[in-house]
Structure 1
Amino acid sequence: MTSTPTHLNKTRIAPTPSGFLHVGNILSFAITAALARKHGAKILLRIDDLDRARVTPEYLTDIFDTLQFLEIPWDEGPRDADDFEVNFSQLQRMHLYNDALEQLAAGGFVFACTCSRRELNEVGLCACFDKHIPLNTPEASWRLLTNCTVLEVKDYNGATIKAQLPAEMENFIVRKKDGFPAYQLTSVIDDLFYGIDLIVRGDDLWPSTLAQIELAVVLGKPTFNNTVFYHHPLLLEAPGKKLSKSAGSTSVRYLRQEGRSVAEVFELISDLLALSGRAINWQQLAGLILS
């Protein structure tokens, strides 16, 4: 028999300022807020800004504008873009990421990769491990040397799901060619740093969940194994095609410019999910999904 957890301390909303927030993001945020309020957990606003080539001030400001417009709450983290830049940017936690990377290198858990995107598309898998490329090679990424261990995921509904890392995540990147830590590593380190024990994300990020659990095991961070995960269905633009940040017509910014109200935004999400009712705020949307 399974049951939902009773003791949860903190969850997070973790947008990336590389595009305008869209209704798919809002779905995830609404579920996060509702589960936090249900369990008396705090909500952290954690903005992932290390994709420096794509991050813009306009996208950063949009995060705060959208959350405030839709009245989605958070308890910890930056209150506005200026506060974020000064006090919460991931750039301020680079020493934590670099410490983790150094630990992986010292333990022999990573190898250098010089494959181009085209080479990976043509061949499918990186074969750089056998080349013994020095880790300090310019323009080389670092890949985690993954194995076939069975990983355990604590599901929100009380089950412990056992699974192996999917093929597409084999030897995933932990340090990019530009020298910056990759998403999988920064996400684990940030969630540990902030004490996150509930992570809400879309079904499409199931491979990332498994990758992050494996990385935490390698880093010797057993606390991360106690994290509870809630994976929700995705909003689709068309059958089988998930929403993307390039889908401008589904961005909240676009909808606001078209004169849509808060209620109309949530009604649109309800319709895209084909829910039994039509929500007019985040509380009602989450209620229809979680009931």
Structure 2
Amino acid sequence: MPNKIRIAPTPSGYLHLGNILSFALTAALAERVDARILLRIDDMDRQRANSAYVQDIFDTLNFLEIPWHEGPRTLQEFESEWSQIHRMPLYQQALEQLLQTEQVFACNCSRSQIRSLSIDESYPGTCSHEAVPLDGSEVNWRITTPRYSEIQIQLWPQGNQSAKLPALMQYFVVRKKDGFPAYQLSSLVDDVHFGITHIVRGVDLLPSTLAQVYLAQILRADSFTQVQFYHHGLLMGADQQKLSKSAGATSIRYLREQGYKPEQIYQQIANLTGIDELVTNWRQLAEVVFHKRI
């Protein structure tokens, strides 16, 4: 199977510097392993997805000259052919498979209830033996997870590694209360559907990698268990918190409006990672990050 990697932003806000670091590393890894790049826009969070944010993805990638070979090129093309809505039958098939093998249970706990039961907001399995109807309204579907078994993942370039599913991923959600598939399931199904072989993510998404590999084992999606993952360090703001859309991180759109050129944006990313070298494009940024293992 030919190598394929993906850029997979969510249209829930304007792209920021942290997003671009991940995209630059994705493009550079694609060149290293001779992989095609898929642009996959994850719009399954229907309450937060916004067409202006989708357009921002195209504008930003083109402005910063980050390439992709497959996927939409315009907002109209995305909405008519590439939105995750068009892959709902695939997600439903996976959910049905979990249902038939009795791997899921319904949960009607609210976030405030979970916070009152768990200091770290991990779900303690409250509803796993309550027989809450799966077809009830306002219920999540959660998956039964192993508490102690090791999960094998492929890291690039280290190779095979093992780790336990962290507390925050115990009994993770596979279908949300609105009836739509949760991120862990839709992302996995998409990666299998598109034949993804390599994935670049921030180190904060290592728990998601473990959860998705575990889910792939249950669904017998063997190709995903061989995907190679590269987890990079995160860009931190002045408050030492990771840059994020929800925290109001400075967007590329704003920097463009202030007259920033692509090379200035790449240099700013480099500076935030502690890189002293001159960086003017995504290739240079990625090569320094790979070399320093940031």
Contact 1:248–1:254 (CA<8 Å) still a contact in 2?
A: no
Contact 1:276–1:288 (CA<8 Å) still a contact in 2?
A: no
Question: TM-score, normalized by length of structure 1?
Answer: 0.95
Say whether residues 1:198 and 2:195 are aligned partners.
no
Contact 1:156–1:228 (CA<8 Å) still a contact in 2?
A: yes
Say whether residues 1:133 and 2:127 are aligned partners.
no
Question: TM-score, normalized by length of structure 2?
Answer: 0.94
Give distance in 2, aligned partners of 1:210 and 1:108. 21
Q: Give the match for residue 72 of structure 2.
A: 78
Give distance in 2, aligned partners of 1:249 and 1:201. 18
Give distance in 2, aligned partners of 1:256 and 1:239. 24
1:149 Cα deviation from its structure 2 partner: 2.1
Give distance in 2, aligned partners of 1:249 and 1:77. 27
Give distance in 2, aligned partners of 1:182 and 1:246. 19
Q: How does 1:13-32 map to 2 (within 5 A)?
A: 13-32=7-26
Q: Give the match for residue 35 of structure 1.
A: 29
> Which of these residues, 66, 70, 91, is aligned with residue 85 of structure 2?
91
Give distance in 1, aligned partners of 2:241 and 2:270. 17
Q: Amino acid of the residue matched to residue 172 of structure 2?
A: F
1:240 Cα deviation from its structure 2 partner: 4.2
Deviations 1:189-244 (A, max 9, x none): 00000000000000000000000000001111111111000000000013641011
Contact 1:271–1:278 (CA<8 Å) still a contact in 2?
A: no
Q: Amino acid of the residue matched to residue 141 of structure 2?
A: W
Equivalent pairs: percent with the same residue? 51
User: RMSD of the TM alignment (CA)?
Assistant: 1.2
Q: Give the match for residue 219 of structure 2.
A: 219
Report which stretch shifted further, 143-152 or 13-22: 143-152
Unaligned regions of 5+ residues in structure 1, if any?
1-6
Give distance in 1, aligned partners of 2:92 and 2:246. 32
1:247 Cα deviation from its structure 2 partner: 4.5
Say whether residues 1:121 and 2:115 are aligned partners.
yes
1:256 Cα deviation from its structure 2 partner: 0.7
Give distance in 2, aligned partners of 1:246 and 1:69. 23
Contact 2:106–2:133 (CA<8 Å) still a contact in 1?
A: yes
Q: Give the match for residue 246 of structure 1.
A: 246
Q: Amino acid of the residue matched to residue 180 of structure 1?
A: F
Q: How does 1:1-291 map to 2 (within 5 A)?
A: 9-124=3-118, 125-147=124-146, 148-238=148-238, 240-248=240-248, 250-291=250-291
3-state DSSP of counterpart to 1:276: coil
Unaligned regions of 5+ residues in structure 2, if any?
119-123
Contact 2:243–2:249 (CA<8 Å) still a contact in 1?
A: no
Contact 1:139–1:177 (CA<8 Å) still a contact in 2?
A: yes
Contact 1:10–1:44 (CA<8 Å) still a contact in 2?
A: yes
Deviations 1:239-259 (A, max 9, x none): 641011134452101111111
Contact 2:108–2:138 (CA<8 Å) still a contact in 1?
A: yes
Runs of 4+ in 1 over 4 A off after TM superposition: none
Q: Give the match for residue 4 of structure 1.
A: none
Q: Amino acid of the residue matched to residue 259 of structure 1?
A: G
